[in-house]
Amino acid sequence: MSHSLPWIADALNELAAEGLLRRRRVTRLLADGHCETDTGSVIDFASNDYLNLASDPRVIAAAVEALQSGSVGARASPLVCGRTEWHERLEQRLAQFEAQPDAILFPTGMAANVGTIAALCGPGDLILCDRFNHASLVDGCRLSQAQLRVYRHDDLATLERELKKGAANARRWIVTDTVFSMDGDLAPLPDLCDIAGRCGANLIVDEAHATGVFGDNGRGACEALNVEDRVAVRIGTLSKAIGVQGGFVAGPSELIEFLWNRARTQMYSTALAPAFCAAAAVALDIISNEPWRRTQLAAACTLFRTQLRIAGIESTATSCGPIVPVIVGDPQAAVRVAARLEQQGFLVGAIRSPTVPKETSRLRIVITCAHRDEDLGRLAMAIGEEVTQFV
């Protein structure tokens, strides 16, 4: 430990004592939703590869082809050295997929959220932000220097009251995830749109966990809840159901042009690797052409929730779709149960503070379309036994 930073050892010891220390580890993705960890081959119920596209041979082949015909890295910010044909094609494909005139890419979903919010909102504005929003939305709000009010999760009365109080602010914004990443529930988007309408506010939403999963065409929760035209800004990521890496905004041409000129996480960062662009474009084709993935995923989610109930476990009532939280409470207990599940062949996330409130440490089980019915049943039984025995 460096002599100039002696407090770091104390901070790490404190985290360990509270059961909050994160452990680095290596895992290797295998086929069909399995991965290899230091405990052997396990079924992956921890990652966000909802449609099993991260290891799809067609997606990988597209990345390889782009690698072989160009460069590995994008070499600079796209505003400095230009972007490749792979970037342009992906922007066009995303715009088409999202039924919008144009799209802009970011190096990650985190960069898309931070950069977009900080570009659009500014000092003098008022932002209302759901308490359970992803860290990247919160960081974007903070960076914007707008006045920030965090409202209790889904507390629509407070949201409306606070927005009304901000009538003198230059602009008013509601910022929300459409699917909350640790609770798996959908934001009440039609209500949020109504409130925005009544209060002269605009909605910025993050569809990270909804793209590819919700909506008849896989465009996300806004499509599923029929509010696409009522939401001012929709941000997405390529790293979850699309199975690759990167972030994006698809929307009206003026919005995209504005972000090209003002979103600092895009302007001052090297562009996405071209191979990721090629891979993501093929993944979008697969999502459009193979709707059975979404259907199969939805059936697996229903089956798993039923099996959990049979095993005596209630997930949170509001969760729907592929993210299934099982609240354990104590952080050390969550880690212990996850480790025991891994010994039985299931990789499950143990989620603790600061990602979720301290007293709500949980298992975060993620269902994908690669999971087989029998594995869903076995995992539900295992969770039932472990949670009742060890918590």
Ligand X SMILES: Cc1ncc(COP(=O)(O)O)c(C=O)c1O
Catalytic center residues: 181, 209, 240
The residue whose two tokens read 């039609």 is 190
- Asked if 321 touches ligand X (CB under 6 A), the answer is no
- Asked if 265 touches ligand X (CB under 6 A), the answer is no
At closest approach, how far in Å is the CB of 344 from ligand X? 26
For residue 19, report the phi and psi dihedrals to the nearest 5 degrees.
75, 25
- Asked if 108 touches ligand X (CB under 6 A), the answer is yes
Among 84, 113, 144, 319, binds ligand X (CB under 6 A): 113
CB atoms within 10 A of CB 157: 10
Q: How many CA atoms lie within 13 A of 168 on its CB side?
A: 1
- Asked if 183 touches ligand X (CB under 6 A), the answer is no
Nearer to ligand X, 205 or 286 (CB): 205
Nearer to ligand X, 181 or 361 (CB): 181
Q: How many CA atoms lie within 13 A of 352 on its CB side?
A: 18
CA nearest to 366, candidates 214, 209, 177: 209
Q: How far is CA 164 from the centre of its chain?
A: 30
At closest approach, how far in Å is the CB of 193 from ligand X? 19
**DSSP β-bridge partners for residue 234:** 205
At closest approach, how far in Å is the CB of 25 from ligand X? 18
**DSSP β-bridge partners for residue 38:** none
Could you please report the per-residue DSSP string of 178-227? Answer: SB-TTT-PBP-HHHHHHHHHHHTEEEEEE-TTTTTTSSTTS--HHHHTT-
Nearer to ligand X, 181 or 202 (CB): 181
Among 247, 251, 322, 384, binds ligand X (CB under 6 A): 247
- Asked if 54 touches ligand X (CB under 6 A), the answer is no
At closest approach, how far in Å is the CB of 110 from ligand X? 4
Distance CA(205)–CA(140), nearest Å, equals 12
- Asked if 102 touches ligand X (CB under 6 A), the answer is no
Between vectors from CA 300 to CA 331 and to CA 31, what angle results, nearest 5°? 80
- Asked if 160 touches ligand X (CB under 6 A), the answer is no
CB atoms within 10 A of CB 28: 9
Nearer to ligand X, 135 or 167 (CB): 135
Binding residues with ligand X: total (CB under 6 A): 14
At closest approach, how far in Å is the CB of 69 from ligand X? 25
Distance CA(381)–CA(385), nearest Å, equals 6
Distance CA(204)–CA(59), nearest Å, equals 30
Among 102, 177, 223, 342, binds ligand X (CB under 6 A): 177
At closest approach, how far in Å is the CB of 372 from ligand X? 26
Rg over alpha carbons for the chain, rounded to the nearest Å, is 21
- Asked if 181 touches ligand X (CB under 6 A), the answer is yes
Look up residue 44 and give its two tokens.
């992956």
Among 83, 87, 93, 134, binds ligand X (CB under 6 A): 134
- Asked if 176 touches ligand X (CB under 6 A), the answer is no
Those residues with Cβ within 8 angstroms of residue 187's Cβ, 6 or more apart along the chain or in another chain: 130, 154, 176, 177, 178, 179, 180, 205, 221
- Asked if 241 touches ligand X (CB under 6 A), the answer is no
- Asked if 166 touches ligand X (CB under 6 A), the answer is no
Among 90, 103, 110, 138, binds ligand X (CB under 6 A): 110
Residues in 197-216 that interact with ligand X by CB under 6 A: 206, 208-209
Nearer to ligand X, 181 or 360 (CB): 181
CA distances from 299 to 211, 334, 376 (A): 17, 27, 11
Among 47, 52, 176, 239, binds ligand X (CB under 6 A): 239
Residues that bind ligand X (CB under 6 A): 108-110, 113, 134, 136, 177, 181, 206, 208-209, 237, 239, 247
